[in-house]
Amino acid sequence: MAPDEIGRRVARALRGRGPALLPVPAGTPQARVRDLLAAMRPESVRTPQGVTALKGGVPALTDTALVITTSGSTGLPKGVELSAAALRASALASVERVGAAPGDRWLCVLPAGHISGLQVIIRALVTGTEAVHADFDTQGVAELARELGPHVSLVPTQLRRLLAAGTDLADLGTVLLGGAAAEPDLLERARRAGARVVTTYGMSETCGGCVYDGVPLDGVRVRLESDSPGEPGRILVAGPVLLSGYRMPPGTRAPGALERDGDGVTWLRTNDLGCWEADGRLSVLGRMDDVVNSGGHKVVPGQVNALVAEHPAVAESVVVGRADPEWGERVSAVVVPTDPRRPPSLQELRDWVRERLPAYAAPRELEVRERLPLLASGKPDLVALRTPKD
């Protein structure tokens, strides 16, 4: 389904005039489509040839407007069912936080099958317009920015490429930056170039971004579950933006991510680690299952990568854990150098990290690449990065 058509179907679902929608963007490989249909068991499928009823389809929850598929821990797709009320609450809180006015234009350069792209569509709808869809291309984005002055959602890699192309970022409205951690240097350079950048944190289960620049959107609550006061802890989220439930493949059980406390508040137990900064803002450190156990020490890759990314010789970086016969796992830094002729050395990065973190957190391996492998969503491909390049 083309992005414009997805937008029209989303609008109908939000108004309660259409069935719950599981968007599958045009160009999705047929093998992936078959896997989605088998796992999600929709009641019908719409193609350019029309609507076909499917045997064995399972109805969505009563209030569901969208079903977003994500990868479960087994690798099988799992569906996140989102209500029209939750999607509207998220979009309205977002446009209010960034000060978007009725009639403002929104540019969608993210996949319309992911919550990040879908929320651009919905933000446009709640401000009385339709999203402008375009494949990401630095020249094309620059032309649309000059013509429309749109708000836009980007991942760090896209923002980095716009900067490298010399794009006048002041032509854009608000740049909502999410999908992966953004290096402080990237944010500083973008803001110097005229961009109004707002960092976002969220996931499909929270209708996308629900914490902007470390501050929850209106109506959203965040707390940390930590073993020790002041230590990083699991991030929990509550509020009107939460999913209604999960839609699981046959024979699998939904994750116990939703729990109700003694006051009747439903919380989403995310798989992310966070801490509170001195100014009360939330800092997201990375996923709990990405924690590297190296020689009995637990290392949070996000903390290490935040430092590696600040090194002047590093343009892009990701820190991962790789299997090691002696340490169990070794902390590995994969970097794209600022100057390919002068990449940083492992010792430089180790000394750099040890100025701020314990010695055991410093990288034990450095791999230099021309570019980082990315997923369709624009996020770094961590699975690929955990395997050394031949």
Residue position matching structure tokens 């699991």: 234
Number of neighbouring beta carbons within 10 Å of residue 134? 15
Q: Taking CA 144 as the corner, what is the angle to CA 140 and CA 146, rounded to the nearest 5 degrees? A: 120
Residues in contact with 187: Cβ distance below 8 Å, sequence separation at least 6, in sequence order: 177, 197, 199
Q: Which residues pair with 197 in a beta bridge?
A: 175
113 vs 169: which has the higher pLDDT: 169
CATH code, 291-385: 3.30.300.30
CA 22 to chain centre: 18
pTM: 0.81
pLDDT tens digits for 264-293? 999 999 989 898 988 999 998 888 778 888
Contacts of 48 (CB under 8 A, 6+ apart): none
Q: Do 233 and 227 form a contact (C-beta atoms < 8 A)?
A: yes
Instruction: Name the residue among 179, 143, 183, 126 with its Cα closest to residue 317.
Output: 183
Instruction: Say whether pLDDT at 2 is over 90.
Output: no
pLDDT at 35 over 50: yes
* Tens digits of residue pLDDT in 210-264: 999 999 999 999 999 986 666 789 999 999 999 999 999 888 888 888 999 999 9
Rounded to an integer, the average pLDDT of 171-189 is 90
Return the pLDDT at 251: 87
| Per-residue confidence (pLDDT) for residue 86, from 0 to 100 | 97
Tell me the average pLDDT across 358-363.
92
pLDDT at 27: 79
Q: What is the mean pLDDT of the chain?
A: 91
Q: Single out the residue of 214, 197, 198 nearest to residue 278, CA to CA.
A: 214
pLDDT of 75 over the 60 cut: no
Please give the Cα distance from 286 to 31 (Å, whole number): 31
Question: Does residue 80 carry a pLDDT above 50?
Answer: yes
Q: Could you tell me if 388 and 334 are in contact, meaning their C-beta atoms sit under 8 angstroms apart?
A: no
Residue 379 in this model has a pLDDT that exceeds 80: no
| Encoded tokens for 177 | 């930056």
Q: What is the pLDDT of residue 150?
A: 97
- Alpha-carbon 326 to chain mean position: 34
Q: Please report the pLDDT score of residue 382 as a whole number.
A: 86
For residue 72, is pLDDT > 80? no
